[in-house]
Amino acid sequence: MAKGMREVKGRIKSTQNTMQITKAMEMVAAAKLRRAQEAATAARPYADKIKEVVGSIAAGTKGVKHPLLQAREIKKTGYLIITSDRGLAGGYNANILRKVFVTIRERHKSADEYELFVIGRKGLDYFRRRNMPIRQEVTGLSDSPSFADIKSIANQAVKGFEEGLYDELYLYYNEFVNALTQIPTEKKLLPLSDVTAGGTAGVTSYEYEPSAEEVLNVLLPKYAETIIYSAMLEGKASEFGAKMTAMGSATKNAQKMIQSLTLSYNRARQAAITQEISEIVAGANAQG
């Protein structure tokens, strides 16, 4: 009985230590989430303005032709997937990786028909284990990544489409809704068909120097790269939201476990005391 009580007491102490860690991680994730949300929100006006200007040029310039706007026969597809470097974030990584894996298996018959650009160690390890073709990867990003951190992979992904290495490019990331909800999202990044979808109605008129076509040549790649960076910021907010929720759930589960173990310990302790009293009474009766 004493040995069993010591084991239960040890489990209570161990669970309390774990609960302190998960509680601290929840608070850290909550602080990082606020900063990530602010960064994602701050990036939106810039992306919206570039889209407005690009849409104005593309819709208002007759006969405009740019490789990023041209749809072509699909022979090979590129995928850019955003994951995290670390775990303990619930289903944040698993959900998006499962979505990518299932989609690729449905669309492609062989590895020659696609290639991957991967941000985050979790995604890199996942695709490497499955021997899937990875063209470029980025790991070790900070909790507050700058555009410079992903500029190389974003530039190579856009440049690959422009040079005809693949005929479409999809972006996969977790869209942030709130701390409890992150939506695994697929977005067709290239060709940029959305910038001309609205036509010229209600679009601000701009004057360009040296020409609209030259400005378009500069802005279109930057717009595509900005979309990738915005998705990266959404992904970071989603990561911290998922981590905060996961650590909050872990803390609550630890509290429930401590209550259950404490109840078991008290019952065992009471049973031991009752047994000791019974033995004392029995001994006294035997002597009497």
CATH number of the domain bearing residue 157 = 3.40.1380.10
Residue type, 261: L
Is 271 among the domain residues? no
Which tens digits make up the pLDDT trace of 205-224? 667 777 777 878 888 898 89
Residue type, 65: K
Is 253 among the domain residues? no
- Residue with tokens 């690959």, as numbered in its chain: 160
Is 107 among the domain residues? yes
Is 83 among the domain residues? yes
* pLDDT in the model for residue 54: 79
* pLDDT in the model for residue 66: 78
Dihedral sign, CA of 48, 233, 130, 164?
positive
Which tens digits make up the pLDDT trace of 151-199? 999 999 999 999 999 999 999 999 998 888 999 999 999 998 776 655 5
Query: For the chain, which ranges sit under pLDDT 70?
Result: 1-3, 60-64, 195-206, 288
Full domain range(s) for residue 182: 27-245
* pLDDT in the model for residue 185: 95
Is 144 among the domain residues? yes
Is 128 among the domain residues? yes
- Residue with tokens 């977005």, as numbered in its chain: 187
* pLDDT in the model for residue 69: 84
- Cα separation of 233 and 214, whole Å? 29
Q: What tokens appear for 210 in the block?
A: 């040296």
Is 229 among the domain residues? yes
Q: How many domains does the chain have?
A: 1
* pLDDT in the model for residue 206: 65
* pLDDT in the model for residue 196: 60
* pLDDT in the model for residue 192: 84
* pLDDT in the model for residue 60: 64
Is 258 among the domain residues? no
* pLDDT in the model for residue 285: 74
* pLDDT in the model for residue 202: 52
Residue type, 272: A
